[in-house]
Amino acid sequence: MPPSDSTAADAPLFTLRDRRIIRSCVSQHSSDFPPEALQRPELPSGDDRQIRRGGSLPPEADKKAQSLPLACEQQLAPLPKDMDRVVYSGRVLLIDAQDQVLDVFTLDDTQ
């Protein structure tokens, strides 16, 4: 098995608690984001397929993704230095340094 597969298998995932905290915090800090970061428009099918667990963040998405505000990050468990939580197009993504999507959820879901 390639090293990246074992790293992805060992990666932290968004817990239900994380999702609840992030949704609440992003709602409270919505003015910190450009409108397109929080709205989920229809993405081109190729981009949509890539933005899933195990996929990669497309170059266009990488440029537009916004890190969570520090106030949100402080409420969550620390991540390894090579990972980041970002908001893009109505979704919250857990990505690694190679822009691989380790976990994802939408801001408007209830789970």
pLDDT digits (tens, 9 = 90+) for 6-62: 445 566 799 999 999 999 999 999 999 988 888 876 655 566 667 889 999 988 888
83-88 and 66-67 strand pairing: antiparallel
Q: How confident is the model over 64-83, as a mean pLDDT?
A: 94
Q: Which pLDDT band holds residue 5 (cuts at 50, 70, 90)?
A: very low
CA distance 20 to 85: 14
The label of the residue with tokens 């709205």 reads 39
What would you report as the CA-atom Rg of the chain, rounded to the nearest whole angstrom? 13
Indicate the DSSP class of residue 60.
H
The label of the residue with tokens 């916004």 reads 66
CA distance 104 to 52: 6
| Residue 87 in this model has a pLDDT that exceeds 50 | yes
pLDDT digits (tens, 9 = 90+) for 50-65: 788 999 998 888 888 9
| Residue 2 in this model has a pLDDT that exceeds 50 | no
CB of 29 closer than 8 Å to CB of 69: yes
The reported pLDDT for the residue numbered 21 is: 96
Please state the pTM of the whole predicted model: 0.82
CA distance 74 to 28: 14
91-96 and 83-88 strand pairing: antiparallel
